[in-house]
Amino acid sequence: MEYGFELLKKERSTGARLGRIKTPHGEFSTPVFMPVGTRGSVKGLSPADLEEIGVDIILANTYHLYLRPGHELIGSLGGLHRFMNWHGPILTDSGGFQVFSLCGLRKIDEGGVRFNSHLDGSKCVLTPESAIGIQEALGADIIMPLDECTPYPADREYALNSMNLTHRWALRCKAAKSANGQALFGIVQGGMYGDLREDSARTLVDIGFDGYAVGGLSVGEEKALMQEMAYAALRHLPEDRPRYLMGVGAPEDLVFGVEAGVDMFDCVMPTRNARNGTLFTRRGKLVIKNAQYERDPSPVEEGCSCYTCRNFSRAYLRHLFMSGEILAARLNTVHNLYYYAGLMKEMRSAIKDDRFEAFKKGFFEDRALTGRE
């Protein structure tokens, strides 16, 4: 199956969109949330767990898989899908954000990024061309160009120069890509300057990509500013290509993004919070270590059909977490990803029925109820 995107519907009263993406490893509906499997694994869960939860596509990271075990090894074993026994679509991030987070351990210039491995300190180089080559060896269905994630805060001159470097790298990535059926998305940058975000979106559209991502957000700025910058980019992206808001993933942010016309999301929030004992429910967050749950026989959320809620009480989950049991992270992650998958499914249904505004109103009313967890 070749890559393709079909816009099925745009909600009349909002920018919310319903779509379908086809890849060589299957198709999925949008809007969609992609759990993060950085090193070829969504922490604590098997591919069978993900399928039962209803996950359609996962994200893996080029930077981490390049360092360990190496893209050559993965490629020689049949690619990332076979290596991790995941049969659905995979998107790989180019590693730009991870390089951004290295700070003092990296140097950025026109050629690419020189950095010291966080594993053993060895010197490494990542160029636009090698980022594409690594992702081609991994065999992901959707791949990303190397970009510079502009830090926050950054002055206008830095943001402009960073954006232009990202554009030049995007051209090199597109030129380096083989005609192998993988989809290549461009990444909008521009820091926290709306006009730069608009210029970046227009430039990338002129270059031409299979889809477009908005990067460099949720890096410390206030939510209102994040939303403003996302809107600035999204309104200049084409209707006939998927739109991906990178690294943004609080439930409230997903609702905002879908209303603004975003089709794809990823974030470590549901899995990382699960490992830290924080669970997502319709009424907000539930912190399982709290003493009030010591004798609570209820599931995490009444009416939830996930494996965790069908079988275990809050009291048991608190016991596992307080005891440091590995099972705590696993069961919490099952619930959180099930919640996220369910939230996306609800939004797709609301768009289909032209009732997204009513869905949004109910979503925020649920979270404002007295007795919030």
Is the Cβ–Cβ distance between 62 and 95 less than 8 Å?
yes
> Angle at CA 75, nearest 5°, toward 78 and 131?
140
In a domain, 41, yes or no: yes
Range of 340's domain? 274-368
246 and 334 share one domain: no
Residues labelled as active-site residues: 93, 266
- Which of 235, 267, 299 terminates a domain? The answer is 267
- Shared domain for 289 and 246, answered yes or no, is no
Q: Are 62 and 193 part of one and the same domain?
A: yes
| 344 part of a folded domain | yes
Residues 202 and 318 in one domain: no
- Which tokens in the block code for residue 337? 């990803």
Q: Looking at the structure, do residues 250 and 322 belong to the same domain, yes or no? A: no
The predicted pLDDT at position 373 comes to: 40
pLDDT at 370: 46
CATH number of the domain that residue 69 is part of? 3.20.20.105
Domain boundary pick from 232, 248, 267:
267
Radius of gyration in angstroms for the set of CA atoms belonging to the chain, rounded to a whole number: 20
If asked whether residues 156 and 188 sit together in one domain, one would say yes
* Structural domain contains residue 68: yes
Query: Are 30 and 125 contained in the same domain?
Result: yes
Domain boundary among 225, 240, 267: 267
pLDDT at 372: 43
pLDDT at 285: 97
For the purposes of burial, counting CB atoms within 10 Å of the CB of 371, is it exposed (0-12), middle (13-18) or buried (19 or more)?
Answer: exposed
Residue 373, domain member (yes or no): no
Q: How many angstroms separate the Cα of 33 from the Cα of each of 55, 87, 172, 346, 354?
A: 8, 17, 29, 12, 21
Residue 104 is predicted with a pLDDT of 67
Q: What is the pLDDT along the chain (373 residues), one digit of tens a residue?
A: 899 999 999 998 999 999 999 999 999 999 999 999 999 999 999 999 999 999 999 999 999 999 999 999 999 999 999 999 999 999 999 887 777 776 667 889 999 999 888 889 899 999 999 999 999 999 999 999 999 999 999 999 999 999 999 999 999 999 999 988 999 999 999 999 999 999 999 999 999 999 999 999 999 999 999 999 999 999 999 999 999 999 999 999 999 999 999 999 999 999 999 999 999 999 999 999 999 999 999 999 999 999 999 999 999 999 999 999 999 999 999 999 999 999 999 999 999 999 999 999 999 999 998 444 4
Residues 216 and 88 in one domain: yes
In a domain, 258, yes or no: yes
Residue type, 255: V
Q: Quick check: is 218 in a domain?
A: yes
- Tell me: do 234 and 285 sit in the same domain: no
10 with 38, same domain? yes
Both 18 and 101 in a single domain? Answer: yes
pTM assigned to the model: 0.97
Within this chain, do residues 282 and 263 fall inside the same structural domain, yes or no? no
Q: Could you give the number of structural domains in the chain?
A: 2
Q: Where are the beta strands (DSSP E) in the chain?
A: 4-10, 17-23, 26-30, 32-34, 58-61, 90-93, 106-109, 112-116, 123-126, 142-143, 183-188, 211-214, 243-245, 264-266, 278-281, 284-287
The Cα 165–Cα 148 span in angstroms is 7
